[in-house]
Amino acid sequence: MNTFEAIRERRAIKHFDPAHQFTKEEFDQLIDLAMLSPSSFNIQHWRLVNVTDKALRAQLRAAANDQAQVTDASLLFVIAVDIKAWDKDPARYWVNAPKAAQDILVPWINPFYSGNEQLQRDEAMRSAGIILQTMMLSAKAMGYDSCPMVGFDFNKVSELIQLPSGHAVAAMLVVGKATQAAWPKPGFISKSEMVIENHF
């Protein structure tokens, strides 16, 4: 499946085959593709909590208004972010870049984020959104379906996964084999409302 097809066919699926399991090779492929997601300064704020424990999944389902896909999908990820990733040995994010690029970009990271907590959190959440889309399109291209989720108790989910200080939960993502098709696309705003030329 090409990229255009994956974008057009990706939908938020709610019904999954609970008996289906990913092979190790498929799981590794999905994660390898996710790792290629872009992020500001290549900081890679994302931390993917791969929930395999059935009891924990049941607790997360309860925290997600009993949405069945939390337990029925083959894979469940809690997409967390490390808000302070910018300050954790930032040179490692550029270790394979040309030295000239390292010398310019690495020293720029600290002054860019330091003291601006709103920017730090915003940047981490932008990174989460990007990796979510990468994973959803990758899953579709692999022949699977997915559903991004925010309809849950964020505090309870943070507690259940033992989220460390300085981190935040951005979303959950389920991936698996759909058993029911999604309903038709619910609607789009007009292109004239969506695209603003030059200024509002």
| Domain span at 58 | 3-194
Q: What is the mean pLDDT of residues 2-28?
A: 96
Q: What is the mean pLDDT of residues 101-120?
A: 97
- Mean of pLDDT over the chain: 97
- Residue 1 confidence (pLDDT): 85
75 part of a folded domain: yes
Helix or strand holding residue 78 (H, E): strand 75-82
Q: Which two tokens stand for residue 148?
A: 């991004």
pTM of the predicted model, to two decimals? 0.95
97 part of a folded domain: yes
Q: How far is CA 183 from CA 11, 115, 142, 150, in A?
A: 9, 46, 21, 20
Q: What is the mean pLDDT of residues 40-57?
A: 98
200 part of a folded domain: no
Q: For residue 63, how far is the Cα from the chain centroid? A: 19
163 part of a folded domain: yes
Domains of the chain: total:
1
pLDDT one-digit tens code per residue, 140-174: 999 999 999 999 999 999 999 999 999 999 999 99
CATH number of residue 162's parent domain: 3.40.109.10
Q: How far is CA 17 from CA 10, 146, 151, in A?
A: 17, 12, 21
